[in-house]
């Protein structure tokens, strides 16, 4: 058994996070590149540049970017919720 695990469980989880973190980051980046995950910065950039919530929703729909539920039709309330959670 790993001495770290036998001595301190928190040490074990920290060592696992060092391994899992980069894998998770790489997997998330791959999903973003495939258009399967909406990077919040994209929505925030559109908002900061003066787009309305409806304009952002229309832009995401036109790009064919799926929602969390997998739909490709965006509505302004979904955009609003994402922005509120990002704040």
Calpha distance 81→27 (Å, rounded): 24
Residues 6+ apart with CB under 8 A from 14: none
Buried b (16+ CB within 10 A) or exposed e, 51-71: bebeebbbbbeeeebbbeeee
pLDDT at 77: 95
pLDDT at 38: 67
Q: Output the tens digit of pLDDT for each of the chain's 87 residues.
A: 444 444 555 554 455 455 556 666 677 677 767 766 666 888 999 999 999 999 999 998 988 887 877 788 999 999 999 999 876
Q: Which has the closest alpha carbon to 43: 19, 11, 52, 8?
A: 52
pLDDT at 85: 86
pLDDT at 50: 96
pLDDT at 21: 61
pLDDT at 81: 92
């Amino acid at each position: 058994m790993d001495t770290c695990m036998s001595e301190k469980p928190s040490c074990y989880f920290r060592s696992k996070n060092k391994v899992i973190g980069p894998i998770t980051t790489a997997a998330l980046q791959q999903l973003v590149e495939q258009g399967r995950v909406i990077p919040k910065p994209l929505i925030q950039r559109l908002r900061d540049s003066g787009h309305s919530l409806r304009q952002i929703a229309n832009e995401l729909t036109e790009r064919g970017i799926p929602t969390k539920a997998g739909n490709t039709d965006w509505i302004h309330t979904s955009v609003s919720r994402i922005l509120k959670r990002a704040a």
